[in-house]
Structure 1
Amino acid sequence: MTIESMKKTKFSQRTYAEWQQAAEQALKGKPLEGLKTPTIEGLTLEPLYTKEMLDSLGNALPLQVAAVQNSKTKPGWLVAQEVDAISAKDFLAKIKEDLARGNEMIVYTSFQKMDWTDSELEELAGLITKYPLYFKVTQEDQEILQVFDFVGNEQMENVQGVIFSEEPVHVPRNVRTALIDLLPVHNSGGTIVHELGVALSMLAEEMETGNFTEKADRLWFRFAVDTQFFQEIAKLRAFRVLWTAFCSAYGQPAKAVPIFTETSVRSYSKLDPYVNLLRAGNATFSAVLGGADAHTVHPHDFLTKPEPVSRRIARNVQLVIKEEAHVSHVADTAAGSYFIETLTKEYVDAAWNYFLEIEEAGGYTEAMKSGWLTDDIQAKWMEREGEIASRKASLIGTNIYANPQEPVKDAEIDYSHIEYATAKRLATPFEKLRTRSKETLLKTAVLHLGPLKDVKRQSDFIVGYLAVGGIEPLLSPELATADSINSFLAEQEIDYAVLCGTKEKLAEVIPGLAAKAAIDVAGKYPQEQLSEWKQFGVRGSIYNGKPLTDKLEQILSLGKKAF
C-alpha cells in the first residue's frame, strides 16, 4: 500500500449497538455491566464513550470548556521542585543550580530555620525578580520574607508567586497569600468529590467578608494528584468549572486563579520505591493535562530520605513531559474528549451537591467541628483500604508482585514535612507486615498435592500472596499421601503450610493429616467444608479476594520473635 492509497483509505462507521454486540460476543455470555467501573465516589466509568454521550451534555459543554480555559492565564505550567538545603548560602547555591537545570520557580519550604544575612537576602531578591516564588514558611521561620525589603520599587511589579504562611504577611501586590489548601482533605483520605466540595465550602467562608475582587486576586489553590489518571484530569478541570459557577453565584466574573499541584503520597510506598517513579509520572501527566499552573514531583524515596539523584529524577519527570509530549503549548489538552468531558461534568454535579450538603451542615468549619465531615471522609478511606486489602485495587510491589527479600527502610519523613508524615497511605499496613516478618522466625511451606503442572497456578498464587507479608515458603515436591505430607512437615519443622491440589485430592488426604503445623488450603471452599476439615488441622483457606492484611497477620503470629 502506497502513501497515497493510505491517505484515501476510509474507515467504516460503527454504531454503539454494533460495538455492544461485538463486546457481548467476546465476553462469551458474561454481562456487559462487568465492563463498567464504579469509582470510590459512586460514579460509573463506562467501557466506551461516544459522541452521542458528549452531545447529551448540550449547552453545558461549551460553557464547561470556556470555564476551564478562561480561568487559566496561559498554556503550560511551572516546574516547582523543592530544594533541600541546610543554610541560606546552601539554598542559594542549590536553587541557582536547579534553575539552570530546568526548575522554573524559587521554591522554599522551611526544611529548617535558616539565618539570612543582608547580602544573601539581596542575592535572593535578584532571583525573585526574574523567577516566580513559591514560599512555604512556618511561624518560626519568617526571616526569609525580609527579602522584599531588598527589592527596588521599580522591580516590585516583577515579583510574582505564592506564599503559604501560618501568619498574615506583608508582600508585593502580585504575590498571592490566600491559600485554599486541599492537601489536608486528600491526605486524610478524601475522595475527589470531598476535595472539590470542601474547596467550594472553604471559598464560601473566605468570601463572607471583604471585597470579592480583592480577595480573588489573592487566592491560590493547592491539590494533591493521585494515580487515577483520567479522574485526576477531570478533577482539576471540574474545579475550574466550579470556580466559575461560584463566582457567578456572587454575581462576579471568574478571574483566572492559579492551581498548584503535587504528586500524592497516598499511593507512595517504602516497598519497591522505584515503582513510585511510575506513580509520580502518571500523576504528573494527569496534573498538567488537567491544567495545573505549577507542579511539584515528590522523589520516589520521599518517604525515607531523598537522595540528590532522586530529586534530579523527580525534576526530570516534568521536563520529559514538557519537552517530549508538548502539552505545555496547549491551554486545555483534554478539551473535547468524550470520556474526560463527560467525567468532568459528572464531578461538577457531584461536587456541587456535596458542597450544598456541607453548607446545610453549617459550612466547612462547623462540619469539621461536629465531626460530620471527618467521619464521611474516614468512611471512604476505609472503603479504599478494603479494596487494597482484597486486591480489588493494586499497589505494585506492595500488595501484589512483592519482593519478600527486599530490605525495609525504617527511616521516616523529616519532621519539616509533617503534613506528609501524618498523611494516610495505602501501603502503611503492608510496610508494617514486612517489618514484622523481618523480626519473626517462621518456617512455611507450599505443599504440592499433585504434579507441578497441575498445581502450579495455585502454588504461584500462594507464593505471591505470602510474599506480600515478606514470607518466603519452601516449595515441596509432589506429595501424594497424607503420610508423605506429615513426614515432610515434621522433617522440615514447618510452622505453617498451604495445601495446593484439586478438591478431590484434598478430600482424600486431609482426613489423614496429623501434623503440628498450622494448615490452610488453597482455593475458596464453603464454610461447611472448612468446618468439617477443621478437626484434621485445617484452619482456613486462601483465595483471590481474601483480605490480605488480617490473614498475613494471623500467619506471622505463628512464628517466634527473632533475636
Structure 2
Amino acid sequence: MTIESMKKTKFSQRTYAEWQLAAEEGLKGKPFEELKTLTTEGIILEPLYTKNMLDRLSAALPVQAEAVRNGKQKPGWLVAQEIAADSPADFLAKAKDDVARGNDMIVYASFKKMDWQDHELKELASLITEHPIYFKLTQENRDILRVFEWVESARMENVRGVIFSEEPVDAPVNVRTERIDLLPVHNSGGTIIHELGVALSMLAEKMDAEDFAGTAGRLWVRFAVDTHFFQEIAKLRAFRILWSAFCSAYGQEAPAIPIFTETSVRSYSKLDPYVNLLRAGNATFSAVLGGTDAHTVLPHDFLTNPDPISRRIARNIQLVIKEETHVSHTLDASAGSYFIETLTKEYVDAAWQYFLEIEGAGGYSVVMKSGWLTDDIQVKWLQREKEVSTRKASLIGTNIYANPLEPIKDQEIEYSHLEYATAKRLAAPFEKLRAKSKETLLKTAVLHLGPLKDVKRQSDFVTGFLAVGGIEPLISPELQSADSINRFLAEHDIDYAVLCGPKEKVAEMVPALSTRAAVDIAGKYPAEQLDAWKPYGVWDSIYSGKPITDKLEQILNLGKKAF
C-alpha cells in the first residue's frame, strides 16, 4: 500500500450500539454493566465515551474551558522539589545546584532547625529574587523569614511564591501566605468530592466580601495527587471551574489562584519501593495534564528516609515529562477529551452539592469540630481498604506480585514530615504483616494433588497469596493419596498447608487426612462442606476475593516467635 492509497483509505462508520453488541459478544454471557466502573465517589465510569455523550454537555463545555484557561493563565508548571540540608550553608549550596539541574523553586521545608547568619541571608536574598520560593515553616523554625530584610527595595516585587505557615507571616506583596490545604483531607482518606467540597467551604470561611480581590491575591491551594490517572486530571480542572462559580456567587470575576500539587503517599509502600517510582510518574503526569502550577514528587523511598540519589530521581521524573511530552507548551492539554470533560462536569456537580451540604451543617470549622466530616471520610476510607484487602484494587509489590524474600526497611518518616507520618496508607496493613512474618517461625507448604499442568493455576495463586504476607511455602511433588499427604506433612514438620487440586480429588482425600498441620483448600467451597471437613483438619479455603489481610494474619498466628 502506497502513501497515496493510505491517504485515500476510509474507515466505515460504527455506532455505539454496534460497539456494545460486539463488546457483549466478547463478554460471553456476562452482563454489559460489568464494563462500567463505580468509583469510590459514587460516579460511574463508562467503558466508552462518544461525541454524542459530550454533546449533552454542550452548554457547559465553553464555561469549563474558559474557567480552566483563565485559572491556569499560562502553560507549564514549576518544578518544586524539596531541598534537604543540615545547615544554611549546605542549603544554599544544594539550592544553587538544584536550580542548575532543573529545579524551578527554592523549596525550604524546615527539615532541621537552622540559625541563619546575616551573610547567608544576604546570599539567599539574591537567590529568591531570581527564583520563586516555597517555604514550609514550623513554629520554631522561622528564622529564614529574616531574608526579606536583605532584599533590595527595588527588587522586592521580584520575590514571588508561597509560604506554608500556621502562624501569620509578613511577606512581600507577590508572596502568597494564605493556603487552602487539602492534604489533611486526602491523607485522612477523603475522596475527590471530599477534597473539592471542603476546598469551597474553606474558601467561604476565608473570603472577605469587602476585600475580595485582596484576599484572593493572598491565597494558594495545595492538593495531593493519587494514581487514579484520569480522575486526578479531572479533579484539578474541576477545582478551577468550582472557583469560578464560587466567585460568581460573590458577583466577582475569578482571579487566578495557584494550584500546588504533590504525589500522594496514600498509595506509597515500603514494600518493593521502586514501584513508587511508577506511582509517582503516574500521579505527576496527571497533575501536569490537570493544570498544576507547581509540583513536588516525593521520592520513592520517602517513607524510609530518602537519599540524594532518590531525590535526584524524583526531580528527574518532572524533567523527563517536560522534555519528552511537550505538555509544558499547552494550556489545557486534556481539553476536548470526551472522557475527561464529562468526568470534570460530574465532579463539579457532585462537589458543589457536597459544599452546600457542608454549609448546611454549619461550615467547614463546625463539621470538623463535630466529627461529621471525619466520620463521612472514614466511611469511604473503609471502602478503599476493603477493595485493597480483597485485591479488587491492586498495589503492585504489596498486595499482589509480592516478593517474600525482599528485605524490609522499617525506618520512620522524619518528624519534620509529621503530616505524612500520620497519613492513612493502603499499604500499611501489608507492611505490618510482612514485618510479622520476619519475626515468626512458620513452616508452610502448597500440596499438589495432581500433575503440575492441572494444578499450576491454583498453585501459583496460592503462592502469590502467601507471598503478600512474606510467606514462602514449600512446593510438593504430585501427591496421589492421603497417606502420601500425611507423610509429606510429617516429614517436613509443616504447620500450615494448602491443598491444590480438582474438587473431586480433594473430596476423595480429605476424609483420610491425619495431621497436626492446619489445612486450607484452594478454591471456593460452600461453608457447609468446609464444616463437614473440619474433623479432618481442614481449616478454611483460599480463593480470589477473600479478604487477604485477615487471612494472612490468621496464618501467621500459627507460627512461633523467632528468637
Using the size of structure 1 for normalisation, the TM-score is 0.99
- CA deviation vs aligned residue, 1:55-114 (integer Å, no higher than 9, x gap): 101211110111111111210100000001000000000010000000000000100111
Whole-angstrom CA distance in 2 between matches of 1:524 and 1:363: 48
Q: Secondary structure at the match of 1:521?
A: strand
Q: Report 1:288-307 matches (<5 A).
A: 288-307=288-307
Whole-angstrom CA distance in 2 between matches of 1:168 and 1:339: 42
Match of 1:319 in 2: 319
- CA deviation vs aligned residue, 1:106-149 (integer Å, no higher than 9, x gap): 00010011111111101110011111100011111111011111
- CA deviation vs aligned residue, 1:149-201 (integer Å, no higher than 9, x gap): 11111101111100011111111100000100000000000000000000000
- CA deviation vs aligned residue, 1:510-563 (integer Å, no higher than 9, x gap): 000110000000000011111111111101100000001000000000000000
Conserved 8 A contact 2:209-2:250: no
Match of 1:413 in 2: 413
Whole-angstrom CA distance in 2 between matches of 1:227 and 1:482: 48
Deviation at 1:4, TM superposition (A): 2.2
Does 1:487 pair with 2:487? yes
Match of 2:110 in 1: 110
Q: Report 1:243-262 matches (<5 A).
A: 243-262=243-262
Match of 2:373 in 1: 373
Deviation at 1:18, TM superposition (A): 1.1
- The CA RMSD over aligned residues, in Å, is 0.7
Amino acid in structure 2 at the alignment position of 1:340 = I
Amino acid in structure 1 at the alignment position of 2:9 = T
Whole-angstrom CA distance in 1 between matches of 2:53 and 2:155: 51
Whole-angstrom CA distance in 1 between matches of 2:115 and 2:82: 19
Deviation at 1:5, TM superposition (A): 2.1
Match of 2:354 in 1: 354
Match of 2:558 in 1: 558
Q: Secondary structure at the match of 1:273?
A: coil
Q: Which is worse superposed, 163-172 or 335-344? A: 163-172
Match of 2:98 in 1: 98
- CA deviation vs aligned residue, 1:259-295 (integer Å, no higher than 9, x gap): 0000000000000000000000000000000000000
Q: Report 1:43-442 matches (<5 A).
A: 43-207=43-207, 211-442=211-442
Deviation at 1:21, TM superposition (A): 1.2
- CA deviation vs aligned residue, 1:440-466 (integer Å, no higher than 9, x gap): 000000010111111110000000000
Whole-angstrom CA distance in 2 between matches of 1:459 and 1:336: 47
- CA deviation vs aligned residue, 1:397-439 (integer Å, no higher than 9, x gap): 0000000000110111101000001100000000000000000
Whole-angstrom CA distance in 1 between matches of 2:126 and 2:261: 26
Whole-angstrom CA distance in 2 between matches of 1:209 and 1:323: 43
Conserved 8 A contact 2:408-2:435: yes
Runs of 4+ in 1 over 3 A off after TM superposition: none
Q: Secondary structure at the match of 2:69?
A: helix
Q: Secondary structure at the match of 2:266?
A: coil
Match of 2:7 in 1: 7
Amino acid in structure 2 at the alignment position of 1:206 = K
Deviation at 1:7, TM superposition (A): 2.1
Match of 1:511 in 2: 511
Match of 2:540 in 1: 540
Amino acid in structure 1 at the alignment position of 2:158 = N
- CA deviation vs aligned residue, 1:467-513 (integer Å, no higher than 9, x gap): 00000000011111111111110110000000011110011000001
Whole-angstrom CA distance in 2 between matches of 1:101 and 1:557: 50
Whole-angstrom CA distance in 2 between matches of 1:74 and 1:124: 27
Whole-angstrom CA distance in 2 between matches of 1:210 and 1:319: 42
What 5-or-longer segments of structure 1 have no aligned partner? Answer: none
What 5-or-longer segments of structure 2 have no aligned partner? Answer: none
Q: Secondary structure at the match of 1:535?
A: helix
Q: How many residues align?
A: 563
Q: Secondary structure at the match of 1:524?
A: coil
Using the size of structure 2 for normalisation, the TM-score is 0.99
Amino acid in structure 2 at the alignment position of 1:136 = K
Q: Which is worse superposed, 22-31 or 142-151? A: 22-31
Whole-angstrom CA distance in 1 between matches of 2:516 and 2:450: 22
Match of 2:523 in 1: 523
Q: Secondary structure at the match of 1:71?
A: helix
Q: Secondary structure at the match of 1:211?
A: helix
Whole-angstrom CA distance in 1 between matches of 2:85 and 2:209: 39
Whole-angstrom CA distance in 2 between matches of 1:26 and 1:428: 38
Amino acid in structure 1 at the alignment position of 2:408 = V
Whole-angstrom CA distance in 1 between matches of 2:95 and 2:233: 30
Amino acid in structure 1 at the alignment position of 2:490 = A
Q: Secondary structure at the match of 2:536?
A: coil
Conserved 8 A contact 2:208-2:215: no
Whole-angstrom CA distance in 1 between matches of 2:256 and 2:373: 29
Whole-angstrom CA distance in 2 between matches of 1:18 and 1:455: 39
Conserved 8 A contact 2:88-2:116: yes
Whole-angstrom CA distance in 2 between matches of 1:465 and 1:22: 35
Match of 1:453 in 2: 453
Q: Secondary structure at the match of 2:72?
A: coil
Does 1:33 pair with 2:33? yes
Whole-angstrom CA distance in 2 between matches of 1:7 and 1:505: 61
Deviation at 1:374, TM superposition (A): 0.1
Whole-angstrom CA distance in 1 between matches of 2:501 and 2:26: 31
